[in-house]
């Protein structure tokens, strides 16, 4: 049992004995005592002041005295107003460390048959362009969130919805048809997603030229954009696609295969995966069917032009288009169809959509519509709304080709990691293969950690140079500390140092601080799951690493002559490395054993 639970149960017993008040221990949450006060854990006593009919100070004092007399873990206490600061008996921390060492999958809750099923949707790429920096943040947040939720005891299904149809896809197809000269990934030596992205940019370039020509001929900008021949051709192609024109469908399938192959390579390198992938080309018809079903039941209405709408004014919103006059679907319709298929495939208890904050309104509407259409989780769906990633020179634009490509970004991060590591001598004595593996690990670790350590709800500025730093709140700093600990443990093994009994050893301030930091890990994981925040894990592991480095600086390990002290410190080092690897694993980050 963790020290927090031990104290919570003891306080519950104290309140019952002193004031005859029943309190669920789960409702008592000891917090780490603030550094300016003496103690290890602090309990707020205000909930029992009314029943006790005494001042907060008196209640805290009585509970503290009861704990000292009845709970072996408690050595002493002090009171600051209504806050009871508890000091744990130093030798008791040894049993806390032993508990951590003896607990398989420390920090994780076991998944059972009765565990709720949570579906997490992330990535959601378009098949007209490669993944970019914005997609990287989305994928990393989604994968990490799924991993954290599973560690909290949920069954998790990681899912992706690929936007493989629509006018944007037809723009790339039309440009390839007109100016591609039969180009393929093989003939050009390009990844398929990059090749198709080039044609999307080319379409935009040619379209802008046509718009400029029409404006010169006297049209307004709005008229020119609507009347440009290229856009009209793209719209005609979309209608042909929806009517299953064999030639258009064959070209679409071929180009999509190229893109999927490119996506798969990017996903593998990024370290993310999916349990189930849905395609909008399959779901949009299901959405149409569901919308028409809602129309029959009066949940939607049809306008004179044949378009179908939902009236959301009772919910304080506007009217939402669901089917155009020509019968084609909009994104909302596709999301309804995807929800229908997912609900058929899985007994979903909670649905989480990882999508940027520019789509807040979309998911507010989707929640209302799914609830109207009878999906039990519709009203409570979670839009994991995250902020945009910006660069020092501003926002990214896909159409003009001014995006930071995910593949190029990963290449640059790994190259920079190798250069910095070599300059600092971190790769000395390693084989070429080891150097390459560690550079990949550190480069991608730097990227992932930098993007995940920020509160996901906030917009952020990505600075590649700042992310690869072996000091400060960075992935490489944490990875290097893990490698340092592994080096200590290897040397202990090489020297034949055995772990002996340390139960009677009296740990010092640095050792206690580190054990307490390790003891906090399970609650940090649970809180990260409750708040949908990988940033809590990232910043916890950074603080843990700082705490270990202070311990490492002040406490001798291998040269310690007291067998009990040495054994305790080696155990503490091993468990710290274990928690670092576990926490970084929840962020999708690997940690090296040598560096």
We find that the CATH architecture of domain 3-89 is 2-Layer Sandwich (3.30)
Alpha helices by DSSP H, 358-474: 360-372, 406-423, 432-452, 464-467
Among residues 501, 527, 183, 117, which one has the least CA distance to residue 346?
117
User: Is 261 in contact with 185 (CB distance < 8 Å)?
Assistant: yes
d(CA 349, CA 381): 9
What's the Cα-to-Cα distance from 587 to each of 444, 460, 533, rounded to whole Å? 11, 18, 11
Short-list 120, 121, 122, 118, CA closest to 152: 118
Q: 470 in helix, strand or coil?
A: coil
CATH superfamily assigned to domain 406-586: Isoleucyl-tRNA Synthetase; Domain 1 (1.10.730.10)
**Rounded to 5 degrees, what are φ and ψ at 278?**
-110, 155
Under DSSP, the state recorded for 115 is S
415: three-class secondary structure by DSSP: helix
Centre a 10 Å sphere on the Cβ of residue 243 and count the other Cβ atoms it contains: 9
Tokens matching residue 281: 């080309």
Q: What residues does CATH 3.30.1360.70 cover in the chain? A: 3-89
Find out whether 172 and 196 touch, Cβ atoms under 8 Å: yes
**Mean pLDDT per 10-residue section of the chain, whose length is 595 residues:** 88 96 94 92 95 95 97 96 94 93 95 96 94 93 98 98 92 96 96 95 95 94 94 94 94 97 97 96 89 93 95 94 87 92 94 95 95 90 91 51 80 91 88 93 95 92 82 93 96 94 93 95 95 97 98 96 96 98 98 90
Selection from 294, 395, 272 nearest residue 339 by Cα: 294
d(CA 203, CA 219): 21
Burial of 495 (0-12, 13-18, 19+ CB in 10 A): exposed
DSSP 158: E
d(CA 332, CA 315): 17
**Can you tell me which residue has the tokens 């390693």?**
430
Question: What six digits make up the tokens of 217?
Answer: 């001929």
**For the chain, how many residues are written?**
595
Task: Give me the residues paired with residue 461 across strands.
Answer: 390
Of 342, 162, 341, the residue nearest 256 (C-alpha): 162
Q: Please, how many CA atoms are within 13 Å of residue 258, restricted to the half-sphere of its CB?
A: 26
What is the SS3 assignment for 218-236?
Answer: CCCHHHHHHHCHHHHHHHH
Task: Give the pLDDT confidence score for residue 165 in this predicted structure.
Answer: 87
Q: Which candidate, 516, 556, 594, places its Cα nearest to that of 97? A: 516
CA angle 77, 78, 84 (to 5 degrees): 85
Q: Output the pLDDT for position 541.
A: 98
pLDDT of amino acid 402: 55
How far is Cα 8 from Cα 27, in angstroms, rounded to an integer?
8
Chain mean position to CA 425? 32
């Amino acid at each position: 049992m963790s020290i927090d639970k031990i104290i919570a149960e003891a306080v519950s017993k104290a309140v019952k004995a002193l004031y005859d008040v029943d309190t669920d221990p789960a409702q008592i949450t000891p917090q780490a005592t603030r550094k300016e006060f003496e103690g290890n854990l602090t309990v707020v006593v205000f909930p029992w002041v009314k029943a006790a009919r005494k001042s907060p100070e008196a209640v805290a004092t009585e509970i503290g005295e009861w704990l000292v007399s009845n709970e072996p873990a408690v050595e002493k206490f002090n009171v600051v107003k209504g806050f009871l600061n508890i000091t744990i008996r130093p030798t008791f921390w040894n049993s806390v460390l032993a508990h951590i060492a003896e607990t398989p999958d420390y920090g994780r809750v076991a998944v059972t048959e009765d565990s709720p099923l949570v579906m997490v949707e992330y990535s959601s790429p378009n098949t007209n362009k490669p993944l970019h920096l914005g997609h990287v943040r989305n994928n990393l947040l989604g994968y990490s969130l799924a991993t954290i939720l599973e560690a909290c005891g949920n069954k998790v299904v990681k899912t992706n919805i690929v936007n493989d149809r629509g006018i944007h896809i037809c723009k790339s197809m039309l440009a390839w048809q007109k100016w591609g000269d039969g180009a393929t990934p093989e003939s050009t030596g390009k990844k398929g997603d990059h090749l198709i992205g080039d044609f999307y940019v080319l379409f935009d370039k040619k379209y802008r030229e046509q718009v400029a020509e029409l404006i010169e001929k006297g049209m307004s900008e709005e008229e020119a954009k609507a009347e440009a021949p290229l856009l009209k051709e793209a719209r005609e192609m979309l209608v042909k696609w929806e009517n299953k024109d064999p030639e258009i469908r064959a070209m679409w399938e071929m180009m999509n295969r190229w893109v999927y192959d490119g996506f798969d390579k990017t996903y593998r390198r990024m370290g993310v995966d999916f349990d189930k992938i849905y395609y909008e080309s399959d779901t949009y018809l299901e959405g149409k069917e569901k919308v028409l079903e809602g129309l029959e039941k009066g949940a939607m209405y049809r306008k004179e032009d044949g378009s179908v709408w939902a009236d959301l004014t009772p919910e304080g919103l506007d009217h939402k288009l669901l089917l155009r006059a020509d019968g084609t679907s909009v994104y909302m319709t596709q999301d309804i169809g995807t929800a229908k298929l997912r609900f058929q495939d899985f007994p979903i208890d909670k649905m989480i959509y990882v999508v940027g904050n520019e789509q807040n309104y979309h998911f507010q509407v989707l929640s209302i519509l799914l609830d109207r259409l009878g999906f039990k989780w519709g009203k409570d769906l979670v839009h994991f709304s995250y902020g945009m990633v910006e660069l020092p020179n501003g926002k990214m634009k896909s159409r003009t080709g001014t995006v930071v490509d995910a593949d190029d970004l990963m290449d640059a991060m790994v190259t920079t990691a190798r250069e910095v590591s070599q300059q600092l001598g971190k790769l000395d004595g390693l084989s070429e293969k080891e150097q390459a593996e560690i550079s990949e690990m550190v480069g991608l670790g730097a990227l992932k950690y930098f993007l995940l350590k920020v509160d996901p709800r906030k917009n952020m500025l990505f600075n590649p140079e700042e992310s690869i730093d072996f000091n400060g709140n960075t992935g490489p700093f944490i990875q290097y500390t893990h490698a340092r600990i592994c080096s200590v443990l290897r040397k202990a093994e090489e020297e034949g140092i055995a772990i002996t009994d340390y139960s009677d050893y009296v740990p010092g301030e640095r050792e206690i601080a580190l054990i307490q930091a390790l003891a906090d890990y399970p609650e940090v994981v649970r809180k990260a799951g409750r708040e949908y925040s990988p940033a809590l894990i990232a910043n916890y592991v950074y603080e843990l690493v700082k705490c270990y480095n202070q311990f490492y600086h002040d406490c001798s390990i291998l040269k310690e002559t007291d067998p009990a002290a040495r054994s305790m410190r080696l155990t503490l080092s091993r468990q710290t490395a274990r928690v670092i690897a576990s926490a970084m694993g929840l962020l999708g980050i690997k940690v090296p054993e040598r560096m």
